[in-house]
């Protein structure tokens, strides 16, 4: 699958467009991707239908790995 971020904010995250490897449109999803700034997301990857994202916790001054099965 190919996930294209639209940067449209929804209640549970960002809206993404989903395509198969041939470029056929498979619909929209909302993924819990966190933003670093209004135009930049924290680093993430999707592997084996799981979303992994590294997010900075500025209060604790640490980086956290967020994981969610899609």
Instruction: State pLDDT tens for residues 14-49.
Output: 999 999 999 999 999 999 999 999 889 999 999 998
Give the rounded distance of the alpha carbon of 2 from its chain centre: 12
Other C-beta atoms lying within 10 Å of the C-beta of residue 31: 19
- Which pTM value belongs to this model? 0.80
Q: Which of 68, 67, 8, 15 is nearest to 38 (CA)?
A: 8
Residue 70 has pLDDT above 90, yes or no: no
Name 50's Cβ contacts closer than 8 Å, sequence gap at least 6.
Answer: 67, 68, 69, 70
Q: What is the pLDDT of residue 39?
A: 86
Confidence of residue 52 (pLDDT cuts 50, 70, 90): very high
Q: What is the pLDDT of residue 38?
A: 86
């Amino acid at each position: 699958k190919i996930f294209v971020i639209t940067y449209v904010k929804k209640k549970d995250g960002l809206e993404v467009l989903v395509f198969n490897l041939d470029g056929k449109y498979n619909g929209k999803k909302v993924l819990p991707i966190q933003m670093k700034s209004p135009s930049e997301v924290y680093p993430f990857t999707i592997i084996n239908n799981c979303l992994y994202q590294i997010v900075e916790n500025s209060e604790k001054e640490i980086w956290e790995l967020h994981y969610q099965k899609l």
